[in-house]
């Protein structure tokens, strides 16, 4: 996947001169201050918003609109309250008109994998936040995308649940050999989950650093957390983001990513 | 809340309710006599009950009730269908909404029952003007609720559906339509009770059949018990209409925690 050069001709340029690629099977994290255009990149990548300049490529083909190769997941679980857990997982494949037995097979497989099989006939309101987010991840994976775009997927759950969800995500991505672009605010999350971390500047966002995470256990963020090397990477990211000298101005409250 | 505690609360409420009913009926029967209110002002319960039997046998009470029910059902069904369809159309087309909203607002502010004499001028002493008033009165709460519900659908939800390559029709049927149902049912609950109001006003203004007619006939005869019988029957009709909506709502919105009967009136 490749993004390049988006500059808005109008009032606000979200990102400019951004060019990077994510290799097949790689997990790349994007971190940066609030409002640096991370979510804009995600919208471009998923085909929801066309770039005003430049292109995004998936499997070498330009993204012309929403497509089955790319699926995204947000901080909000976006589960439909009137659908059971299983039906929520099948939401994407149903839209893509896969035959019913195949939809059910995928939903069952994913729910079993995420230890949610016994809840498949429950409704979202009966689930905890962490479980709901896992259902959302299952729904994203059910369409069998080549690329996952994850926009702060775990920032709304509590710290302990987040660690479990990160582990589940890491295992699943490795197991299925998926490519992923992860947008996150959390430096530790970026370091423990990724092969590479891209650091973005303030708006108009540009990539100011690229850090390869040379650590084992990409499929086990809990093991990575225990590795002292993590601290060096986090320190470097903090330095690049200039967190020590950052002040909180009104802009830092605007919108996610 | 714990289920057991909740069940105890519900039981307590039901018992209190039943006690209140007995107290009310007793007060109705003996209260007027005790404080010296004559029976042509407030007839006691037994007199109203006797009048009910008499009206049933001699005044075609069943026929009047049947006609009113028919008008209420027709007005409610047509009014809510129109309200829903127009609500969805305006919801899908922001331009249409902007263009029509001043007129809709004006019509919404105008007291719908004031149209009853006009409709009777147009259509005579038939059931149609009554149905038309009911349609007009039911239309707005349903339309407004549907429209508001469509406006309130999370844009990220729509984007999620789009990212799965959903067509416009799929977004409507899989996201927007189901999301609009809870507010629509809130509108239908309001509509069910308002439909009765619309029909009664229509019947009061003109005609010779229906509970509203019976009401004004009783007034003309200074037959207070008959007026009371008509009011009770109208309340029963309205209550049944309201409960019918709730029963359907419970089936359709089974995924929501059950709401109390009186909630969201």
Among all residues of chain A, which has the CA nearest to that of B181?
A: A82
pLDDT range class, residue A39, cuts 50, 70, 90: confident
Euclidean distance between CA atoms B223 and B98, whole angstroms: 51
Query: Which two three-digit tokens encode residue B135?
Result: 């349609």
**Given an 8 Å threshold on Cβ–Cβ distance, is A125 in contact with B257?**
yes
C-alpha B65 chain-centroid distance: 16
What whole-number percentage of chain B has pLDDT above 70?
96
Give all strands of the β-sheet with A56-58 in edge-to-edge order: A20-21, A2-3, A56-58, A61-62
Among all residues of chain B, which has the CA nearest to that of A77?
A: B157
Query: Which two three-digit tokens encode residue A186?
Result: 């959390």
Interface mutation vs chain B, best among A58, A73, A78, A148, most B CBs within 10 Å: A78
Q: Which chain B residues are closer than 8 Å to A71 by Cβ? A: 163-164
Q: Which residue's entry shows tokens 């019988």?
A: B229
Q: Which chain A residues are closer than 8 Å to B175 by Cβ? A: 80
Q: Which residue's entry shows tokens 């619309």?
A: B198
- Per DSSP, the residues of A50-82 read --SSS-EEETTEE--S--TTEEEE-SS----TT
Mean predicted confidence (pLDDT) in B137-162? 92
- Interface confidence, given as ipTM, is 0.84
**Given an 8 Å threshold on Cβ–Cβ distance, is A80 in contact with B175?**
yes
**Given an 8 Å threshold on Cβ–Cβ distance, is A81 in contact with B256?**
yes
Average model confidence (pLDDT) across chain A: 83
Task: Provide the 3-class DSSP secondary structure of residue B82.
Answer: helix
pLDDT at position A22 over 90: no
Burial letters for A157-175: b for 16+ Cβ neighbours within 10 Å, e otherwise?
A: beeebbbebbbbbbebbee
Residue of A46, A71, A78 with shortest CB distance to B157: A78
Using alpha carbons, list the distances in angstroms from residue B67 to A81, B210, B238. Answer: 40, 5, 14
Report which of B61, B62, B216, B190 is spatially closest to residue B134, judged by C-alpha positions. Answer: B190
Q: Which chain B residues are closer than 8 Å to A81 by Cβ? A: 255-256
Mean predicted confidence (pLDDT) in B40-63? 87
- Our CA-based measurement puts residue A232 at a distance from the nearest CA of chain B, in whole angstroms, of 36
In terms of pLDDT, which residue wins out, A226 or B3?
A226
Phi, psi dihedrals of residue A203, rounded to the nearest 5°: -60, 140
**Given an 8 Å threshold on Cβ–Cβ distance, is B163 in contact with A70?**
yes
pLDDT range class, residue B263, cuts 50, 70, 90: very low
pLDDT at position A58 over 50: yes
- Our CA-based measurement puts residue A84 at a distance from the nearest CA of chain B, in whole angstroms, of 9
- Our CA-based measurement puts residue A73 at a distance from the nearest CA of chain B, in whole angstroms, of 8
What's the pLDDT score for residue A176? 86
Query: Which two three-digit tokens encode residue B71?
Result: 């008008």
Residue of A66, A80, A94 with shortest CB distance to B163: A66
Mean predicted confidence (pLDDT) in A11-40? 77
What's the pLDDT score for residue A201? 81
A122-141 tens-digit pLDDT: 999 999 988 999 999 999 99
| Architecture of the A1-69+147-153+178-246 domain | 3-Layer(aba) Sandwich (3.40)
Phi, psi dihedrals of residue A200, rounded to the nearest 5°: -110, 155
Euclidean distance between CA atoms B229 and B220, whole angstroms: 15
Interface mutation vs chain A, best among B160, B182, B250, most A CBs within 10 Å: B160
A176-210 tens-digit pLDDT: 888 999 998 888 899 999 999 998 887 777 888 88
Three-class HEC string of B198-231 = HHHHHHHHCCCCCHHHHHHHHHHCCCHHHHHHHH
- Per DSSP, the residues of B144-168 read HHHHHHHHTS-HHHHHHHHHTT--H
| Number of Cβ atoms within 10 Å of the Cβ of B191 | 29
Euclidean distance between CA atoms B228 and A105, whole angstroms: 63
Lowest mean pLDDT among A251-255, B56-60, B227-231, B252-256: A251-255
What's the pLDDT score for residue A239? 85
B203-236 tens-digit pLDDT: 998 888 889 999 999 999 888 999 999 999 999 9
**pTM given for the model:** 0.83
Q: Which residue's entry shows tokens 């790319």?
A: A70
């Amino acid at each position: 996947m490749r993004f390049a050069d988006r500059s808005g001709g109008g009032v606000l340029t979200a990102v400019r001169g951004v060019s990077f690629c994510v290799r097949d099977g790689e997990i790349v994290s994007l971190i940066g201050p609030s409002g640096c255009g991370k979510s804009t990149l995600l919208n471009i990548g998923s085909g929801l918003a066309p770039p005003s300049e430049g292109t995004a490529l998936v499997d070498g083909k330009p993204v012309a609109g929403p497509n089955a190769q790319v699926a995204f997941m947000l901080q909000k679980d976006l589960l439909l309250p009137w659908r059971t857990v299983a039906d929520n997982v099948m939401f994407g494949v149903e839209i893509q008109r896969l035959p019913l037995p195949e939809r059910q097979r995928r939903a069952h497989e994913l729910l079993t994998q995420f230890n949610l099989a016994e809840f498949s006939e429950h409704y979202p309101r009966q689930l905890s936040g962490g479980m709901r987010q896992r259902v959302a991840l299952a729904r994203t994976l059910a369409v069998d995308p080549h690329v996952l775009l994850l926009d702060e997927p775990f920032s709304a759950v509590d710290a302990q649940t987040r660690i479990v969800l990160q582990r589940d995500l890491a295992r699943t991505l490795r197991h299925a050999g998926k490519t992923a672009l992860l947008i996150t605010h959390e430096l530790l999350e970026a370091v423990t989950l990724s092969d590479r971390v891209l650091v973005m500047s303030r708006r108009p966002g540009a990539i100011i650093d690229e850090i390869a995470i040379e650590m084992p256990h990409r499929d086990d963020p809990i093991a990575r957390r225990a590795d002292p090397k993590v601290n060096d990477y986090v320190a470097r990211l903090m330095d690049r983001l200039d967190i020590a000298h950052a002040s909180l101005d009104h802009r830092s409250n605007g919108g996610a990513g | 809340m714990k289920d057991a505690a909740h069940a105890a609360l519900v039981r307590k409420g039901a018992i209190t309710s039943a006690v209140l009913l007995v107290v009310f009926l007793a007060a109705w029967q003996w209260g007027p006599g005790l404080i010296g209110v004559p029976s042509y002002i407030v007839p006691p319960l037994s007199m109203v009950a006797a009048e009910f039997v008499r009206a049933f046998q001699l005044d075609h009470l069943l026929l009047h009730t049947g006609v009113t029910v028919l008008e209420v059902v027709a007005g409610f069904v047509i009014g809510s269908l129109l309200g829903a369809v127009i609500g969805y159309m305006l919801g899908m087309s922001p331009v249409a909404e902007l263009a029509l909203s001043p007129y809709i607002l004006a019509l919404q502010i105008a007291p719908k029952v004031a149209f009853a004499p006009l409709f009777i001028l147009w259509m005579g002493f038939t059931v149609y003007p009554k149905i038309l008033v009911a349609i007009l009165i039911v239309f707005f709460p349903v339309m407004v609720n549907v429209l508001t519900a469509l406006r309130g659908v999370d844009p990220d939800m729509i984007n999620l559906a789009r990212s799965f390559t959903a067509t416009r029709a799929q977004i409507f049927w899989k996201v927007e339509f189901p999301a609009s149902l809870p507010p629509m049912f809130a509108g239908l609950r309001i509509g069910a009770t308002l439909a009765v109001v619309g029909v009664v006003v229509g019947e009061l203004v003109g005609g010779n059949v229906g509970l509203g007619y019976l009401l004004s006939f009783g007034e003309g005869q200074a037959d207070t018990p008959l007026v009371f019988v008509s009011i009770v029957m109208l309340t029963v009709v309205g209550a049944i209409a309201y409960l019918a909506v709730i029963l359907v709502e419970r089936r359709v919105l089974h995924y929501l925690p059950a709401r109390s009967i009186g909630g969201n009136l």
